[in-house]
């Protein structure tokens, strides 16, 4: 098996496991923040174990902690808590499509704070994702009698979940944006701090709003521990292997498989359904987000080449 095949194979399995978040969350009788805290803690422990095995622990103490490193980890933890909670209050498709609007929010933040120019193609991709989100949460819907309907009223059944999904997308965008400030930190060390400060952020939230474990039965604990192992340790370990053999853009594009798996589980196991416009919205979110990721990575590769040419 060549390195590319190994990279794609491990990344596909990793993304597939990540797509099972909603299935696990719906079988655990506690809030999404507890589930996310467990996952972040397991992730931190797994990364630390990997660093110990590779004898890279000294890199942790030699890495200078800056506000962007701490904040990016906190945003990752809180966005994951919002996402897991969203899977409990809305359809799995809505939750997973909305969190993957993150790259768009990251691009908007870069344009505002880093003064990055938004090209015409990027603007079209941003518009596609924005329109897709409107389709997914039902602001734009279709009625056989009225045709296309634009309204600010939301479905009472999924409102909380849809808003949590949007919040997770914003949090994911903040995480991606803040991660750009410290490109000098190695991926494994950065992953450890992301998981660590993500768990710390959720822990601080616990002080404000203490979690309840009263309804956690034996089945819930089994599902929670299994989630920590398969989606925490399993998906993370496979992602680490894939990252050694694939480019960042390739990793990002394959990661969108999670949206297909998440939506598919909702349809097959929970009898959820998508309207035609919601399905189109999901495609717009995936297509626009993937396009933006690829454009971003191309820009990164072009900058060193331009610098070499100028010198």
CA distances from 252 to 11, 168, 243, 255, 283 (A): 10, 17, 10, 5, 16
Residue 100 forms part of a structural domain: yes
How far is 67 from 7, CA to CA, in rounded Å?
Answer: 32
Please give the pLDDT value at position 308: 47
Residue 310 forms part of a structural domain: no
Among 246, 257, 242, 297, residue whose Cα is nearest residue 107: 297
Residue 309 forms part of a structural domain: no
Percentage of the chain surpassing pLDDT 70? 89
Please give the pLDDT value at position 219: 95
Residue 106 forms part of a structural domain: yes
Residue 121 forms part of a structural domain: yes
Please give the pLDDT value at position 307: 46
Q: Is the pTM of this model over 0.85?
A: no
Number of structural domains, the chain? 1
Burial profile 30-63: b = 16 or more Cβ within 10 angstroms, e = fewer: bbbbbbbbbbbbbbbbbbbebbeeeeeeeebeeb
Q: The tokens of 54 are what?
A: 């590779």
Q: Which stretches of the chain drop beneath a pLDDT of 50?
A: 306-311
Please give the pLDDT value at position 298: 66
- Given a contact cutoff of 8 angstroms between Cβ atoms, the answer to whether 230 and 20 are in contact is yes
Range of the domain at 20: 3-302
Q: The tokens of 141 are what?
A: 């819907």
Q: What is the DSSP letter of 181?
A: G
Residue 95 forms part of a structural domain: yes
Spell out the residues 6+ positions from residue 161 whose beta carbon is closer than 8 angstroms to its own: 85, 86, 87, 88, 89, 90, 91, 94, 95
Please give the pLDDT value at position 137: 80
Please give the pLDDT value at position 131: 87
**pLDDT tens figures, 216-264:** 999 999 999 888 888 877 887 787 678 677 775 567 677 778 888 998 9
Residue 308 forms part of a structural domain: no
Q: Cα–chain-centroid distance for residue 204?
A: 21
Spell out the residues 6+ positions from residue 10 whose beta carbon is closer than 8 angstroms to its own: 238, 239, 241, 242, 245
Residue 311 forms part of a structural domain: no
């Amino acid at each position: 098996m060549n390195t590319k095949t190994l990279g794609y194979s491990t990344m596909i399995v990793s993304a597939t496991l990540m797509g099972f978040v909603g299935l696990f969350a719906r079988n655990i009788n506690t809030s999404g923040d507890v589930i996310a805290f467990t996952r972040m803690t397991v992730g931190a422990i797994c990364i630390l174990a990997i660093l110990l095995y590779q004898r890279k622990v000294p890199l942790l103490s030699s890495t200078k902690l800056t506000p962007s490193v701490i904040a990016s980890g906190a945003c990752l933890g809180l966005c994951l808590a919002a996402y897991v909670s969203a899977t409990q209050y809305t359809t799995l498709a809505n939750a997973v499509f909305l969190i993957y609007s993150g790259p768009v929010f990251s691009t908007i933040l870069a344009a505002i704070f880093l003064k990055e120019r938004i090209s015409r193609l990027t603007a079209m991709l941003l518009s596609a994702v924005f329109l897709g989100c409107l389709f997914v949460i039902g602001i734009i819907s279709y009625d056989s009698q009225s045709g296309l309907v634009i309204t600010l009223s939301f479905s009472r059944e999924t409102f909380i979940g849809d808003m949590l999904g949007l919040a997770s997308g914003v949090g994911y965008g903040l995480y991606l944006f803040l991660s750009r400030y410290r490109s000098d930190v190695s991926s494994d060390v950065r992953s450890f701090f992301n998981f660590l400060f993500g768990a710390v952020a959720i822990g601080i939230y616990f002080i404000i709003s203490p979690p309840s474990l009263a309804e956690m039965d034996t089945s819930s604990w089994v599902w929670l521990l299994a989630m920590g192992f398969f989606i925490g340790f399993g998906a993370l370990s496979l992602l680490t292997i894939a990252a050694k053999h694939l480019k960042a853009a390739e990793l990002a594009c394959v990661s969108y498989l999670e949206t297909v798996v998440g939506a598919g589980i909702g349809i097959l196991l929970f009898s959820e359904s998508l309207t035609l416009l919601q399905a189109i919205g999901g495609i717009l979110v995936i297509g626009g987000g993937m396009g933006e990721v690829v454009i971003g990575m191309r820009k990164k590769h072009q900058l060193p080449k331009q610098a070499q040419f100028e010198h």
